[in-house]
Structure formats: structure tokens, C-alpha cells
Amino acid sequence: MTIDESRQIAIAKAYVDALVSHDPSEVSLHPDCTRLEFGVRTGRNGAHIARSLARGPQFRTIHAVSGFEATVDHHTVTTRYLVHVQPRFLGLAAEVRESFLIDEDGRIRTIVAKFGRPRKASR
């Protein structure tokens, strides 16, 4: 069974939304899901990634996401967006590019992330 593109994007967007809410309950992670940042494994499995979303200090500085864009190529959703980081008064945001491999059951199997340095966000 193939999952339609809009559903695949919604699965990836649930992960991105959890970066802000710190609530991974709506994120569909495969138990063996892994996450890589610049080629370094930062998520061992689905449970570890969910815990990181909920309590990980690396995500606690994120207070908003904007400019979310996504494309789908078969089972891979490629996203691009800005994460806005604390302290808010500085107005800093970093560009993030992530790809999500989504299986036939609608679960994220792999997350590959690349991001830039936080810079003053344009208004």
C-alpha cells in the first residue's frame, strides 16, 4: 500500500511541529528509526528520538518554526524550514533541511538533518 503525498507530508510535519511543542505523541516513528545530523547519529531508535523531542536540551531552544516547505519523492519527504531559537528578543532563526524516509505503514524510518547557524531573521 502506498501512502499519498499529503499524508507523507503530514507525517513529516508532525515531527517538525513536535520540535516546538515538545510533544512527540503525534509523531509516527518506527521503533528502529534513526536520526542523523551531518552524518552523525543523534537518534538511536524511535523511543530515543521521542524522548529527545520531549525533553532533549538540543530542542528546548526552539520556540517557533516558519516557512515550512516539503516535497515528496516516492517514500522520502524532503523539508525546508526555519527554526526560531531562544532568546526570542534576539530574533534568531536557522535554516533546517531534513529528509524523512517513510515506510508503507506511515512510520518514519530515517531522519537526515542539516542546518545552518542561527542568524537574525528577516521580518
Domain count, the chain: 1
Which amino acid is present at 86? Q
* H helices present in the chain, as ranges: 5-21, 46-55, 57-60
Which domain covers residue 25, as residue numbers?
Answer: 5-120
Q: At what angle do helices 46-55 and 5-21 cross, to 10 degrees?
A: 50
* pLDDT for residue 121: 78
Phi/psi at 44 (nearest 5 deg)?
-80, -35
Q: Which amino acid is at 61?
A: T
Q: Give the pLDDT of residue 2.
A: 73
Do residues 43 and 111 lie in contact, with contact meaning Cβ atoms separated by under 8 Å? Answer: yes
Is 37 within 8 Å of 96 (Cβ atoms)?
no
pLDDT over threshold 70, residue 1? no
| pLDDT digit string, tens, across residues 70-103 | 999 999 999 999 999 998 889 999 999 999 999 9
pLDDT digits (tens, 9 = 90+) for 21-79: 999 999 999 999 999 999 999 999 999 999 999 999 889 899 999 999 999 999 999 99
* Degrees, nearest 5: CA angle 62-122-42: 30
CATH number, domain of 75, equals 3.10.450.50
